[in-house]
Chains A and B, each alone.
Chain A
């Protein structure tokens, strides 16, 4: 199975900060990765598809990128509504696998 190593597991940041979360794939997944945002008690919301492409309605302060086997989600200027858990999912190969998640909190 492909392992997705997500870091950090949690972080705190201030409003306006630039924040980056990373998932490292244990095997080549191409750009077959989705980033999700999940708020307490809610279902996951897709934010970025196929690595760099924003899902519908996602603010432009969110972006995705890839460097080798590392996939990053960046929030350019943190807003209060961005406080949530973030998860990555690889869908290159069965079984699909998620990263362990990142809890983003306000400092």
Chain B
């Protein structure tokens, strides 16, 4: 069945780079898009960006300068990299297959 699972460090220092991995199963990355969505504690959802089935990417305009999304189709993995992290980037980060199936999310705290 379709599954997505996020992994990555729970704690990142300010100004450092966040690296997250979304490992998927039950579907092909070459036929489906994967999106990243984040949610600061107690707040609403924010679309972060996406990688499409053909490999093209789209990013939240407010994050674009700091963000990179890529993939390894052979490993069924999608990667998110965000640099220059600030405390405002503290959030649960979700990956989702075009919003129908979602991972459980990974909590990322930006703190020294």
Contacts and interface: CB of A to CB of B under 8 A. Distances in A.
Interface of A: 1, 34, 36, 38, 43-46, 55, 87, 89, 91, 94-101
B45 A46 contact: no
Given A34-B99, A43-B104, 12 more contacts: A36-B99, A43-B96, A44-B96, A44-B99, A45-B102, A46-B99, A46-B100, A55-B100, A89-B45, A96-B35, A96-B47, A100-B44
Nearest to A97: B47
Interface in B28-66: 35, 37, 43-47, 50, 58-62
Contacts, number: 47
A43 B97 CA distance: 13
Interface string B69-103: 00000000000000000000000001010011011
Contacts of B50: 96
Nearest to B45: A98
Nearest to A91: B99
Contact of B58 (A43, A94, A100): A94
Q: Which of B35, B46, B99 is the most central at the interface, judged by chain A CB atoms within 10 Å of its CB?
A: B99
A17 B96 CA distance: 32
Residue with the highest number of chain A CB atoms closer than 10 Å, among B44, B46, B94: B44
A22 to B, nearest CB: 15
Contacts of A45: 102
